[in-house]
Amino acid sequence: MHHTISRLLFCLLMALPLAACGGSDEAKVTLYCGVDQDQSRRIADLFRQQTGVAVDYHGETEAMRSVGLPKRIWEARGRPRADVYWSNEIMHMVHLCKSGVMAPLPTGVAEQFPGAWRDPGGKYVAFGARARVFLVNKELLPDPKDWPRKVEDLLDPKYAAMGYATSMAEPLTGTTYTHAVALLTGNEARAKKFFEAVAAAREEGTMKVVSSNGRVMRTVADSSGKVCFGLTDTDDSYIALTEKDPKGNLVVVYPDSADDDIGTVLIPNTAAIVKGGPHPQDAERLLRWLVSPIVEEELARSRSAQIPLREGVPLPEEARLQWRPGADFKAMPIDWQAVGDNADRWRDWLTRLFKPAN
């Protein structure tokens, strides 16, 4: 933990509403969390240490990422079990909020965030984003002129002609599914053509369509597999750069082609209170903690290397991935409310198109 964080955590928590004062372990709040457990459990534990409010933590596996917990929240809407939902993406959160199962934000929470990262309906806020990026193996593609610049470059036949494949995760769960729905919502005809071509390239063997973003990262990092680049997230890319690249063969490229109007997709964390949850006062306290600048800074410094979305949150001194959107790369403009409306619209179509990867 960096220099002053313990003191800052304490000061911040003491400023929160004193709904659970007394420090009794009998105080409890139930958190449904879709964020990687090696980061999110630690933050939940810090909350408990500073407040005495025990966190009943419920996570989910990568295979069900961003699918399992929203379904559980929806199915329990008549008798909610969760107090707070901390999601690692935004689309399903928008869908839940529009469905009426999330409560209004406490006073003063939304105002901390830029307008682009608040719910127009006042039920969630977005923070700590990951970017959808290319991880490139420079051992296989030493010339930057050969590096991808836009998502459609995954299908460029020049890589197959060089004897290489490209890679992405199947767009059925997690950020890859959210990315797919964002593309389909923005331009359905263009996106359908792209995903149909991806499915065909998978059958031809020119693309490795695998089960997760983490597997994309591992596939690209292993030069012997002849996968020259893949589409993944900045958190998996950061792990590749810091833990799996002793020879410096890997580089991250943001989809930001000068002749392309799409840019880089940013997928933030989101947090909201479940309407009618069993511990409403402690739910508010936990929510204020999760969306605090201190936690967003911790996420930036963590193994997931997440990008702060508000001004004034410090970045680590060594920040190979956490470049500011708008300053260092072009972020794709996305109508997340429309994406949330379409959360299930193309699910069956994508499922038919992409059978589960091995």
The pLDDT tens digits for 196-243 are 999 999 999 999 999 999 999 999 999 999 999 999 999 999 999 989
Residue 321 has pLDDT above 80, yes or no: no
**Interval 296-312: pLDDT, tens:** 999 988 888 898 988 88
CB–CB of 26/274 below 8 Å?
no
Query: At 56, phi and psi to the nearest 5?
Result: -85, 100
The pairing of beta strand 227-233 with beta strand 207-210: unpaired
Q: Which CATH superfamily is domain 5-129+267-322 in?
A: Periplasmic binding protein-like II (3.40.190.10)
What's the whole-model pTM score? 0.86
All CATH 3.40.190.10 domain ranges in the chain, comma separated: 5-129+267-322, 130-265+343-353
- What confidence score (pLDDT) does residue 5 get? 44
**What six digits make up the tokens of 348?**
């069956």
DSSP annotation of 331 reads B
Higher-confidence position of 23 and 53: 53
In 3-state terms the chain splits into helix, strand, coil percentages (rounded to 5) of: 40, 20, 40
Taking residue 283's Cβ as centre, other Cβ atoms within 10 Å add up to 24
Other CB atoms within 10 Å distance of the CB of residue 63? 13
Q: Are the C-beta atoms of 73 and 32 separated by less than 8 Å?
A: yes
CA 159-184-126 angle, to 5 degrees, is: 100
- Dist CA 178 CA 237 (whole Å): 18
Residues 230 and 167 sit within 8 Å (Cβ to Cβ): yes
CA distances from 323 to 12, 54, 128, 240, 251 (A): 26, 35, 12, 17, 14
Tell the residue number behind the tokens 């409306």, with chain if given: 341
Q: Which two tokens stand for residue 276?
A: 């009618």
255, 149 Cβ separation under 8 angstroms: yes
Listed in sequence order, the DSSP H helices in 52-187 are 68-75, 91-98, 157-161, 174-186
Domain covering 130-265+343-353: architecture? 3-Layer(aba) Sandwich (3.40)
Q: Which two three-digit tokens encode residue 354?
A: 């992409």
Average pLDDT, the chain: 87
| 3-class DSSP assignment, residue 136 | strand
pLDDT digits (tens, 9 = 90+) for 2-51: 444 444 444 444 444 433 333 344 579 999 999 988 889 999 999 999 89
* Cα distances (angstroms) measured from residue 1 to each of 98, 209, 286, 298: 38, 37, 21, 9
What does the block give as tokens for 79? Answer: 């008798």
